[in-house]
């Protein structure tokens, strides 16, 4: 669905690269997370993939089209919901979608249905200029689905939304993915990446440091610890023990054999902790 080989990009052509030798592929049907801190090169890469920035060096194909010779047909097949909501403020929510749908020569979805989906059903006739930041964001998100994209670019899809709306947006993303839509998700929010992505790429200083599934990363970099709470002589005791160190394993067996265990959990590293471990950098 997306193929990127040895991509480089320099804004000032001064030998400094915002993106350096980036290669990856996104398979049909997957949710691929592109994760990194501010200035890592996420937008630069995404803008090249979506034709907003001209390709300088490397090979990039998106839904089967080479971005060097970008074709309008490619835009019929992709959707883009970027962080900055660029909606027409003098038009109503519905007019915004009606206007946008005319740009495509494929079957489009009904504006009312999409507004309903993102919780703006009762705001269809209100001008977008009167919308809050979060509402504009939801309108942009709805708009990006209007052409039934096969490949959907989502940039920070839940940033700035209240938790209930963010949860609905995540459900919509999962639903669309279940219908077969491939998703390229750019974020510095590890929680959403962990919840939604099949695979993630960690990008720092323009370079991809690693690509894997959140599950594999946790297995590989997880602390392999067990937190156990048990009762000893009437007192509740809490211990964190390793599942790979022999001494700890013995102690754990002793506890299970001798005392009343109240709770026992494996302790996983979070994706954020793994990011810091792998890249030596935080995500802010």
Q: Kindly state the tokens that stand for 142.
A: 């709805």
Query: 165 to 204, contacts with ligand ATP by CB under 6 A?
Result: 188
The single residue listed with the structure tokens 């590989």 is: 220
Nearer to ligand ATP, 43 or 158 (CB): 43
Q: Residue 127 gets which letter from DSSP? A: B
Binding test (CB under 6 A) with ligand ATP, winner from 23, 39, 68, 239: 39
What span, in angstroms and rounded, lies between the C-alpha atoms of 91 and 96? 6
* Residue whose CB is less far from ligand ATP, 40 or 87: 40
Helix axes 271-279, 214-221, angle to 10 degrees: 70
By beta-carbon proximity to ligand ATP, the closer residue of 39 and 129 is: 39
Q: Is the dihedral of CA 43, 45, 50, 52 positive or negative?
A: positive
85 binds ligand ATP (CB under 6 A): no
**Of 2, 44, 135, 138, the one binding ligand ATP by CB under 6 A:** 44
Could you say whether residue 58 binds ligand ATP (CB under 6 A)? no
Stretch that binds ligand ATP, among 36-44, 98-106, 142-150, 226-234 (CB under 6 A): 36-44
User: Which one of residues 11, 105, 216, 227 is an interface residue with ligand ATP (CB under 6 A)?
Assistant: 11
Nearer to ligand ATP, 42 or 137 (CB): 42
Closest CA to 53 of 19, 6, 76: 19
Phi/psi of residue 132, nearest 5 degrees: -75, 170
Enumerate the H helices of 50-130 as residue ranges. Answer: 72-77, 93-101, 111-117
List 1, 4, 36, 87, residue binding ligand ATP (CB under 6 A):
36
Report the residue from 14, 15, 38, 280 that binds ligand ATP according to the rule CB under 6 A.
38
The residues pairing with 187 across neighbouring beta strands, listed in sequence order, are 35
Contact positions vs ligand ATP (CB under 6 A): 11, 18, 36, 38-44, 188
């Amino acid at each position: 669905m997306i193929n990127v080989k040895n991509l480089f990009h320099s804004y000032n052509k001064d030998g400094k690269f915002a993106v350096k030798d980036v290669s990856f592929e996104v398979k049909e049907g997957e949710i691929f997370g592109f994760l990194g801190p501010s200035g890592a090169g996420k937008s630069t890469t995404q803008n090249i993939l979506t034709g907003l920035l001209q390709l300088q060096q490397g090979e990039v194909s998106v839904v089967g089209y080479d971005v060097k010779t970008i074709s309008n047909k490619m835009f019929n097949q992709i959707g883009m919901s970027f962080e900055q909501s660029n909606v027409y403020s003098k038009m109503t929510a519905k007019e915004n979608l009606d206007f946008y749908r005319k740009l495509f020569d494929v079957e489009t979805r009904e504006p009312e249905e999409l507004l309903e989906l993102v919780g703006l059903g009762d705001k269809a006739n209100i001008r977008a200029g009167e919308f809050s930041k979060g509402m504009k964001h939801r309108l942009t998100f709805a708009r990006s689905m209007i052409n039934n994209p096969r490949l959907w670019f989502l940039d920070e899809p839940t940033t700035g939304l209240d938790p209930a709306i963010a949860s609905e947006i995540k459900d919509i993303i999962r639903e669309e993915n279940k219908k077969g839509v491939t998703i390229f998700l750019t974020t510095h929010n590890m929680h959403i990446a962990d919840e939604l992505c099949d695979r993630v790429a960690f990008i720092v200083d323009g370079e991809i440091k690693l690509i894997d599934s959140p599950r594999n990363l946790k297995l590989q970099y997880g602390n392999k610890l067990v937190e156990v709470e048990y009762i000893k002589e009437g007192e509740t005791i809490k211990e964190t023990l390793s599942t790979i160190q022999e001494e700890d394993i013995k102690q754990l067996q002793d506890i299970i054999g001798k005392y009343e265990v109240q709770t026992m959990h494996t302790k996983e590293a979070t994706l954020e902790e793994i990011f810091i471990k792998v890249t030596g950098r935080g995500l802010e």
